[in-house]
């Protein structure tokens, strides 16, 4: 039953994003040593998202809130693409990445979709990302 619902949602998402710009997905894992990510398989999650969901790409970054993360975002955000970020608390993501988005001419409140996926297992995090895509697709 759950699988049927998931398939339906995936199909709905595919239709929703047909011919429309897709967001990128970043899983930011707090060095990979953060116990908040211990319940999930981060590789399974990122592979499921990039293969099964309507995102332009998906990848793992070890720690975007560090200085090298700022440098990475300065390069990366040049594309102007919306980003769904699985990571820590949304209020923190807004705070930590606001300057990088501003510098790239983007609005962190509109162009970043921050999701707190800490302490979730792979399925729970995947569904949260699916739901965010559904909401974003409906707004486009």
The site for other proteins (CB under 8 A) is made up of 30-36, 38, 63, 65-66, 88-89, 92, 95-96, 118-119
Shortest distance, CB of residue 8 to other proteins, whole angstroms?
33
Which lies closer to other proteins via its Cβ, residue 35 or residue 138? 35
3-state secondary structure of 42: helix
74 vs 70: CA distance, rounded Å: 6
| Nearest distance in Å: CB 14, other proteins | 32
CB of 139 to other proteins, least distance (A): 28
Helix (H, G, I), strand (E, B) or coil at 123: helix
User: From the CB of residue 100, how many other CB atoms can be counted at a distance below 10 Å?
Assistant: 20
> Among all chains, which residue has been given the structure tokens 């809130």?
65
User: Nearer to other proteins by C-beta: 53 or 85?
Assistant: 85
Residue number with CB closer to other proteins (19 or 35): 35
For other proteins, the closer of residues 22 and 118 by Cβ is: 118
Min dist CB 120 to other proteins, Å, is 12
């Amino acid at each position: 039953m759950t699988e049927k619902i998931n398939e339906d949602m995936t199909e709905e998402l595919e239709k929703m994003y047909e011919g429309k710009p897709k967001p990128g997905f970043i899983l930011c894992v707090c060095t990979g040593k953060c116990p908040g990510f211990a319940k999930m398989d981060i590789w399974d999650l990122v592979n499921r998202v990039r293969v099964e969901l309507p995102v332009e790409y998906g990848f793992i970054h070890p720690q975007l809130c560090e200085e090298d993360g700022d440098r990475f975002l300065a390069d990366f955000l040049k594309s102007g693409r919306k980003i769904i970020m699985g990571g820590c608390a949304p209020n923190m993501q807004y705070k930590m990445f606001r300057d990088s988005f501003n510098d790239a001419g983007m609005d962190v409140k509109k162009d970043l979709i921050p999701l707190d996926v800490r302490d979730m297992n792979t399925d729970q995090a995947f569904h949260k990302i699916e739901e965010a895509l559904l909401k974003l697709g409906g707004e486009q």
